[in-house]
Amino acid sequence: MNQHLTMQAFWKRRARRFLLPIGGLVITGFMLLPIYFTVETSLEPTSALQALSQSLLPSHFILSNYRVAFDAEHGSIITSLLISLGAVVLSVGVGLPAAYGLTKLGYLRSRAVVSVAVMVLLVTQMVPGISLTIAFYKLFLHLHLLNSIAGLILADSTSGMPFATLVLRAYLGSIPAELSDAAYVDGASEWRTFRSVIAPLAVPAIITSGLFVFLFAWGDFLFAYTLTAGGSVTPLTKGLLSFFTNNTVNWGPVLATVVLAAIPSGLILGFGQRYVMGGLRAGALKG
């Protein structure tokens, strides 16, 4: 009987060891299929996409779609990079001091104030962006920020800033208060403690929150379309509309643009991947 149970436990461990990775690979493969078909279709002429029979490999391999996409959208790519990086700088630049202040209040037992502030930040994350577009349009009209990179940075930061503050606050809460106390004993001011002790320790959370803010601003279409209507500022998501006409869609350059748009975000994610898990894990341990 004991031998039977031992063999059963052995085969269960073997099954978990092999079946779980295989299942994960299968699921990952299904998730990557849209990406594959996007790349594959971007290497074919639009006429091949409209054919009745489709193949898994490009039937007519061409690179002209990428030349058309780059010629039409290279300015939009630079504009989107400026907007996304500006949103990151503004969101993290405001979110880090705000998170430190909320953490400091928590240490001082002002938990009611912290709870209300966190609730307000969470509520701002629940507000649909489409409900803010009209308000932003009227506000930016008076501030002369319509059709401007600065206006889009501010609009994208309305979601990025609360998110960055919440992530950074959770991470800063995991830093022992004794480190700040030791800096105070050594004569450091509040600003010096924040700049020289707390901020360097929060680098994983800064990179994590910055990555998510960048991705949100990079993929934003609602603000990009509404707040630059009829203007010369054209982010990448809005620039895709240039390939759409009343009767036809030039799908080859559209999908080539999508692939080009994925390269900057992919490179940034690849650079910051090792920081993301550390930042999220530390924030999850103590919030």
Q: What is the pLDDT of residues 126-185, one digit of tens each?
A: 888 788 888 899 999 999 999 999 999 999 999 899 999 999 998 888 888 888 888 888
pLDDT of amino acid 287: 43
**Cα separation, 188 vs 147, whole angstroms:** 45
Give the 3-state secondary structure percentages of the chain, helix then strand then coil, rounded to 5.
80, 0, 20
Q: Which residues of the chain register pLDDT less than 50?
A: 283-287
23 part of a folded domain: no
Give yes or no for a contact between 125 and 163, defined as CB atoms under 8 angstroms apart.
Answer: yes
Report if pTM > 0.85. Answer: no
Tell whether 25 is covered by a domain.
no
User: Distances from the Cα of 60 to the Cαs of 68, 70, 71, 285, in angstroms?
Assistant: 17, 20, 22, 52
* Domain hosting residue 232, numbered range: 64-285
Residue 138 lies in a domain: yes
Does residue 13 form part of some domain? no
| CATH number, domain with residue 216 | 1.10.3720.10
**How many domains are contained in the chain?**
1
pLDDT score, position 9 = 64
Spatial neighbors of 113 by CB under 8 A, at least 6 apart, are 105
Q: Indicate whether 178 belongs to any domain.
A: yes
* 18 assigned to some structural domain: no
Tell the residue number behind the tokens 């994590």, with chain if given.
Answer: 208
| Structural domain includes residue 53 | no
Contact (CB, 8 A) for 261 and 239: no
**Has residue 4 been placed in a domain?**
no
